[in-house]
Structure 1
Amino acid sequence: MKIKNVQYVKSILSANERPIPALPEIAFVGRSNVGKSSLINCLVNVKNLARVSKQPGKTRAINYFSVDNRFYLVDLPGYGFAKVSKSAQVDWQRVIEAYLLNNQQIRRILVLIDSKVGAKENDRQLIEWLEFNRAPYRVVATKVDKISRSERAVQARKIREALNQSRNEPLLFFSAKDRTGREELLKYIGELLEGSEK
């Protein structure tokens, strides 16, 4: 899939603020500083489209980016950062759940897991929640430049075991630093969109 034109559309704090026109959505969710913004920037080949923060928990809104006026990439707030207040964590959870539930435009929720750190308890809880609500998702292991090729299969197995997934879909590997997995992820998104347009 070739990407020609990408632009930031808007940031929302409530599901009823979603942009018009309604287009298919590919959502990215994961722990704070798992590399969501870097992945999006690398994917669309625009350096500073999604802002990369050194401070975990900085992205609080749901950010929409339009790709070729064909679909949206959606950057969801990061979760799991301990220094954020409990009330803020609850607020973010409400925003994310409201976005994910009853959203007919979502084609896939890409759950990002740091390949070196592995899956944590709140990652497992998210997967459990997605499966309970029958939400379409796939796991992407990020920052794979930090582990060797031989470690990938081992880490993939550990992540799958920690997440306790009911499905056995292979993980996608990605590195924004050396662009590993970029073409595979673009192809995957392209196939999802083709399926929704038929």
Structure 2
Amino acid sequence: MTADTQGLFSGPIHFIKGVVRIDGLPVEPLPEVAFAGRSNVGKSSLLNALTGRKALARTSNTPGRTRELNYFRVGDLLYIVDMPGYGYAKAPKSQVKGWNELIYAYLRGRPQLKRVFLLIDARHGIKNTDKDVLALMDEAAVSYQVVLTKIDKISAGQLKRVQSETAAYLAKHPAAHPDIIATSAQKRLGIDDLRAAIVELIAAGQV
């Protein structure tokens, strides 16, 4: 079965489960793409725009709401994994430690994980907490690609600058995909580019 950019997300998409322990991961070997990012980076809004649903992923002004690996099944082709947000300073240290252990174990031991899309707020660029996650994914040898969010909140000149700075930083990281996807969930900018990247990953796995 193949997928196209528009058709992949036009069929059924269901929430499957929230995983808090590695032994709770789905056993079906569907390809997976995961979405990671700092708390309040706009991950839930982007996932809703990506899938064309209004409330597939819950949105909240309270950072750190996603505390599990949330699995969504896209037809018979794909799992989308919504990873816990990181960098939320007000979370209890024990909770942060648990999140970090879960994320590391998932990244290191999930062969069907095709790519992590790392969301970066275009207004701020890569921050220190993002750098820690980049290093972790390099260590785990997981392919990842940066997705800039909230580009409607900055000027064209600011966007060009943050794209250039981000590309220069990623060039030093072996597991990073060189292409940066610039998006706005609110304005639906870059959503088709993100969809196309996911479709390309699925097609590559079917060869």
Indicate the residue corresponding to 2:69 in structure 1.
Answer: 62
**TM-aligned CA deviation for residue 46 of structure 1:** 0.4
What TM-score does the superposition give when structure 2 sets the normalisation length? 0.91
Match of 2:206 in 1: 197
1:128 aligned partner, one-letter code: A
Question: Within 5 A, what are the aligned runs for 1:20-99?
Answer: 20-99=27-106
What secondary structure sits across from 2:105 in the alignment? helix
- Residue 108 of structure 2 is matched in structure 1 by 101
Alpha-carbon distance between aligned partners in 1 of 2:77 and 2:127, rounded to the nearest angstrom: 34
Pairing 1:129-140 to 2, within 5 Å after superposition: 129-140=136-147
Compute the displacement of 1:157 (Å).
2.0
Work out whether residues 8 and 65 of structure 1, in 8 Å CA contact, stay in contact via their aligned partners in 2.
yes
> CA 1:50/1:58 → structure 2, altered by over 3 Å: closer, same or farther?
same
Gaps of 5+ in 2: none
Q: How many residues align?
A: 198
**Counterpart Cα distance in 2 of 1:56 and 1:24:** 28
Identity %: 37
Task: Supply the distance in 1 between the matched residues of 2:51 and 2:198 (Cα, whole angstroms).
Answer: 12
Instruction: Please tell me whether residue 184 in structure 1 is matched to residue 193 in structure 2.
Output: yes
Distance in 2 (alpha carbons) for counterparts of 1:83 and 1:162: 28
Counterpart contact for 1:57–1:81, Cα < 8 Å? yes
C-alpha distance after superposition, 1:140-176 (max 9, x if no partner): 1111111122322201123345567325713111110
Letter in 1 for 2:179: P
CA offset digits 1:60-79 (Å, max 9, x no partner): 01100011121011000000
Q: Deviations over 1:6-41 (max 9, x none)?
A: 111110101221124221000000100111111110
SS at 1:184's partner residue?
A: helix
Report the RMSD for the aligned CA atoms in angstroms. 1.5
Please show how residues 1-16 of structure 1 align to structure 2 within 5 Å.
1=5, 2=7, 3=9, 4-16=11-23
Q: Output aligned runs, 1:141-152, within 5 Å.
A: 141-152=148-159
State the distance in 1 between where 2:142 and 2:185 align: 26
